């Protein structure tokens, strides 16, 4: 067993853990971050992409609303390259309660969120695809943010200040010495061996998994994983974020992100944060609800659907309060747990709850407390120090196309949907990334409408050309990549997307014969439990039951039954247990 020593081990490589690592590094504290998988593969890679203005909390949760608007402004300053300055609207429909809109405006003022009322006509000029039936609209400084880009920049800054990052090193236990944790035991997934990391302090930043990591250290932390399903549409539909001005509910937000729009979201309490399954009925419901604000969504092409687990925390004093699965009342603010006071474990801190938008502030609060105990008096600098990569202003949708045009790189595109050139893939592979899934997160390969029909095998060829892994590894990596793409598509296979899936199936199964060589990994992709002859039969949601059909009505059950997608039972309506909201 190899070992290594540091002052602080941070467990969890989502935005929170990475922000904690950066804060420690900027204060001169030696620290190592361990992540069970790749960075940003937990909730920070399975979320909505909204840089909150705080408007979504303005009515019920002033503390969260205030944190969001403060950090919205800080992130715009230190990480503009990760942000698309979209702006957002809250729209009041005739079926909504006008009294809610009044409370919204008052709540925004109380939390310090700038809000401007627009006439319905002005709102429609700004968002031409909005329904023409809106009663009022309120503009707020919502934005879009790319979490992987933020994570990469924070890691680069932390590493430049001496921090170390160990992805694919899950924590499997702790060595305890009396009332202290003396070392963290991790498994090196590449080498297969266990390593001990000796340390003075441990920070548990494992998000929805914080309870599991706490259990390994012998302390109880009651997390409430709140699953949220999101639907990815094949184009943007809206120029800025569109929210419903009502008490949070399923299908009340549309966020344009890169080339697509993301509709969201459900909020269902689940037992296991790794449960990211999607019921096709949830997809239908999300589209139907969001189409109340943007009607053309009901005729649009849904590319895929995915889910993530909110890291909601239930304090012990609320343990006996029954939620009946409905945790709308659970605040979206965050909590720092000092386990010395709470559980008699002298050198463990946990950080739970919060939002992606507030990750920097969460880290600051935690490191302030930890620093006091460690005797480190260096003040926090993370709100002032601009992140690496922040020299080109905010992200612009047209940026990648402008770059391709300027360099005349038309013939060298490896991924036409996301405008990724072969040269960029080569450079990234040469930099050490050979797993296609990692390339996807780094370069956005396979996110677009064709869902990797062409880019996955081209990228595999680049990996091969650069000597990255043997043939079998490469095909297994390709199968893993396709399996992940398929997992997101099975609930959206109708109409054009069914035809796309059939083409992809023909390419990867028919030409590459993936199933024959990689039975276990590829067969699920190749068959996916899907009856292909039926999958192509329905040509649109309209034919399946007409636009605007409710999920409990004609559209959902018929599409699910006809398509017979994996995991798609048509009997239940969308699960009622709610952990609302974003």
Ligand X SMILES: Cc1cc2nc3c(=O)[nH]c(=O)nc-3n(C[C@H](O)[C@H](O)[C@H](O)COP(=O)(O)OP(=O)(O)OC[C@H]3O[C@@H](n4cnc5c(N)ncnc54)[C@H](O)[C@@H]3O)c2cc1C
Per-position x/- string for 480-519, each x denoting binding to ligand X as judged by CB under 6 A, each - no binding: ----------------------------------------
- For ligand X, the binding residue among 213, 283, 433, 434 (CB under 6 A) is 213
Query: For the chain, how many helices (H) and strands (E)?
Result: 20, 24
Cβ closer to ligand X: 55 or 568? 55
Provide the minimum distance between the beta carbon of 30 and ligand X in the complex, in angstroms, as a whole number.
Answer: 19
Provide the minimum distance between the beta carbon of 180 and ligand X in the complex, in angstroms, as a whole number.
Answer: 20
- For ligand X, the binding residue among 52, 360, 365, 558 (CB under 6 A) is 52
Handedness of CA 205, 209, 210, 213 (dihedral sign): negative
- For ligand X, the binding residue among 27, 152, 168, 310 (CB under 6 A) is 310
Q: Give the interface segment with ligand X, choosing from 242-250, 307-315, 371-379, 510-518 (CB under 6 A).
A: 307-315
Provide the minimum distance between the beta carbon of 27 and ligand X in the complex, in angstroms, as a whole number.
Answer: 20
Cβ closer to ligand X: 44 or 504? 44
Cβ closer to ligand X: 136 or 491? 491
Residue among 133, 121, 55, 61 at smallest CA distance from 89: 55
Provide the minimum distance between the beta carbon of 323 and ligand X in the complex, in angstroms, as a whole number.
Answer: 17
Contacts 24+ apart (CB under 8 A), 513-517: 514/475, 514/478, 514/479, 514/482, 517/472, 517/475
Q: Which residues of 460-498 are buried (b: 16+ CB within 10 A; e: fewer)?
A: bebbbeeebbeeeebbbbbbbbbbbbbbbbbbbbbbebb
Residue 66 engages ligand X in binding (rule: CB under 6 A): no
Question: Nearest-CB residue to ligand X?
Answer: 14
Contact indicator for 198, 35 with CB cutoff of 8 Å: no
Contact indicator for 31, 21 with CB cutoff of 8 Å: yes
Cβ closer to ligand X: 147 or 483? 147
Contact indicator for 142, 53 with CB cutoff of 8 Å: yes
What CA–CA distance (Å, rounded) separates 393 from 101? 34
Enter the tokens of residue 117: 């009322």
Judged by CB under 6 A, the number of residues near ligand X is: 41
Provide the minimum distance between the beta carbon of 211 and ligand X in the complex, in angstroms, as a whole number.
Answer: 10
Q: Give the interface segment with ligand X, choosing from 131-139, 232-240, 303-311, 442-450 (CB under 6 A).
A: 303-311
Contact indicator for 170, 184 with CB cutoff of 8 Å: no
- For ligand X, the binding residue among 8, 47, 72, 144 (CB under 6 A) is 47
What CA–CA distance (Å, rounded) separates 145 from 241? 12
Cβ closer to ligand X: 333 or 421? 333
Residue 214 engages ligand X in binding (rule: CB under 6 A): no
Q: Which of residues 119-148 bind ligand X (CB under 6 A)?
A: none
Q: Give the interface segment with ligand X, choosing from 121-129, 202-210, 280-288, 394-402 (CB under 6 A).
A: 202-210
Beta strands across the sheet bearing 171-177: 2-5, 194-198, 180-187, 171-177
- Tell which phi-psi region holds residue 389, choosing left (phi > 0), alpha (psi between -120 and 50) or beta: left
Enter the tokens of residue 476: 């297994």
Q: Which of residues 148-187 bind ligand X (CB under 6 A)?
A: 170-171
Residue among 550, 571, 547 at smallest CA distance from 560: 571
Q: Which of residues 6-45 bind ligand X (CB under 6 A)?
A: 11-17, 34-37, 41-44
Per-position x/- string for 223-242, each x denoting binding to ligand X as judged by CB under 6 A, each - no binding: -----x-x------------
Helix, strand, coil content of the chain in percent (nearest 5): 40, 20, 40
Provide the minimum distance between the beta carbon of 172 and ligand X in the complex, in angstroms, as a whole number.
Answer: 7
The residue written with tokens 């949601």 in the block is 541
Q: Which of residues 431-450 bind ligand X (CB under 6 A)?
A: none
Find the helix or strand (DSSP H, E) in which 267 lies. none
Task: Please write down the HEC assignment for all residues of 377-433.
Answer: CCCCCCCCCCCCCCCCCCCCCCHHHHHHHHHCCHHHEEECCCCEEHHHHHHHHHCCC
Contact indicator for 546, 288 with CB cutoff of 8 Å: no
Cβ closer to ligand X: 333 or 559? 333
What CA–CA distance (Å, rounded) separates 364 from 265? 29
What CA–CA distance (Å, rounded) separates 429 from 450? 22
Beta bridge partners of 185: 173, 196
- For ligand X, the binding residue among 8, 25, 79, 208 (CB under 6 A) is 208
Cβ closer to ligand X: 15 or 65? 15
Q: Which of residues 262-301 bind ligand X (CB under 6 A)?
A: 265
Provide the minimum distance between the beta carbon of 342 and ligand X in the complex, in angstroms, as a whole number.
Answer: 19
Cβ closer to ligand X: 231 or 498? 231
Q: Give the interface segment with ligand X, choosing from 203-211, 338-346, 498-506, 539-547 (CB under 6 A).
A: 203-211
Cβ closer to ligand X: 49 or 528? 49
Q: How far is CA 408 from the centre of its chain?
A: 33
Cβ closer to ligand X: 488 or 528? 488
Cβ closer to ligand X: 265 or 451? 265
- For ligand X, the binding residue among 9, 26, 50, 491 (CB under 6 A) is 50
Binding site for ligand X (CB under 6 A): 11-17, 34-37, 41-44, 47-50, 52, 170-171, 205-209, 212-213, 228, 230, 265, 308-311, 354-357, 582
């Amino acid at each position: 067993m190899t070992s290594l020593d540091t002052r602080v081990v941070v467990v969890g490589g989502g935005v929170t853990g990475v922000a904690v690592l950066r804060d420690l590094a900027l204060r001169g504290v030696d620290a190592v971050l361990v992540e069970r998988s790749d960075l940003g593969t937990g909730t920070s890679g399975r979320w909505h992409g909204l840089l909150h203005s705080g408007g979504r909390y303005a009515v019920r949760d002033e503390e969260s609303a205030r944190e969001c608007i403060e950090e919205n402004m800080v992130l715009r300053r230190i990480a503009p390259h990760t942000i698309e300055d979209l702006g957002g609207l809250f729209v009041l429909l005739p079926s909504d309660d006008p009294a809610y809109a009044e409370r919204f405006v008052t709540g925004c003022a109380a939390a310090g969120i700038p809000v401007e009322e627009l006439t319905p006509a002005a709102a429609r000029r700004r968002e031409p695809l909005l329904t023409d039936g809106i009663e009022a609209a309120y503009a707020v400084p919502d934005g879009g943010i790319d979490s992987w880009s933020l994570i990469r920049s924070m890691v680069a800054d932390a590493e430049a200040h001496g921090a170390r990052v160990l992805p694919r090193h899950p924590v499997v236990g702790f060595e305890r010495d009396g009332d202290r944790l003396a070392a963290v035991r991790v498994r090196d997934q590449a080498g297969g061996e266990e390593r001990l990391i000796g340390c003075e302090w441990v920070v548990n930043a494992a998000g929805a998994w914080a309870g599991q990591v706490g259990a390994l250290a012998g302390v109880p932390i009651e997390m409430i994983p709140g699953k949220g399903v999101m639907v990815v549409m094949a184009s943007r539909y809206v120029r800025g974020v569109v929210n419903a001005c009502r008490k949070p509910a399923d299908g009340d937000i549309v966020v344009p992100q890169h080339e697509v729009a993301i509709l969201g979201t459900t909020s269902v309490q689940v037992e296991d944060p790794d449960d990211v399954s999607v019921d096709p009925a949830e997809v239908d419901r999300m589209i139907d609800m969001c189409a109340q604000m943007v009607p053309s969504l009901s005729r649009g092409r849904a590319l895929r659907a995915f889910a993530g687990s909110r890291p909601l925390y239930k304090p012990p004093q609320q343990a006996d309060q029954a939620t009946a699965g409905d945790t709308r009342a659970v605040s979206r603010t965050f909590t720092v747990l000092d386990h010395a006071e709470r559980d008699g474990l002298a050198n463990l801190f946990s950080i739970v709850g919060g939002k992606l938008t507030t990750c920097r502030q969460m880290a600051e609060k935690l490191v302030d407390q930890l620093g006091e105990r460690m005797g480190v008096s260096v003040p926090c600098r993370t709100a002032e120090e601009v992140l690496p990569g922040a020299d080109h202003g905010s992200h612009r949708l047209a940026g990648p196309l402008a770059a391709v045009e300027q360099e005349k790189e038309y013939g060298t595109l490896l991924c036409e949907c996301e405008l990724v050139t072969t040269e960029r893939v080569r450079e990234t592979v040469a930099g050490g990334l050979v797993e296609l899934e990692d390339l996807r997160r780094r370069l956005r390969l396979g996110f677009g409408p064709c869902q990797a029909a062409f880019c996955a095998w081209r990228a595999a060829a680049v990996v091969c050309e650069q000597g990255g892994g043997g043939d079998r590894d490469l095909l297994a990596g390709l199968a893993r990549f396709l399996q992940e793409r398929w997992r997101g598509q099975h609930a959206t296979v109708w109409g054009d997307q069914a035809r796309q899936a059939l083409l992809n199936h023909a390419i990867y199964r028919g030409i590459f014969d993936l199933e024959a060589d990689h039975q276990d990994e590829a067969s699920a992709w190749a068959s996916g439990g899907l009856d292909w002859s039926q999958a192509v039969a329905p040509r649109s949601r309209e034919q399946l039951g007409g636009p605007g059909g409710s999920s409990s009505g004609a559209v959902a059950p018929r599409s699910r039954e006809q398509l017979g997608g994996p995991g798609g039972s048509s009997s239940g309506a969308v699960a009622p247990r709610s952990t609302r909201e974003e």
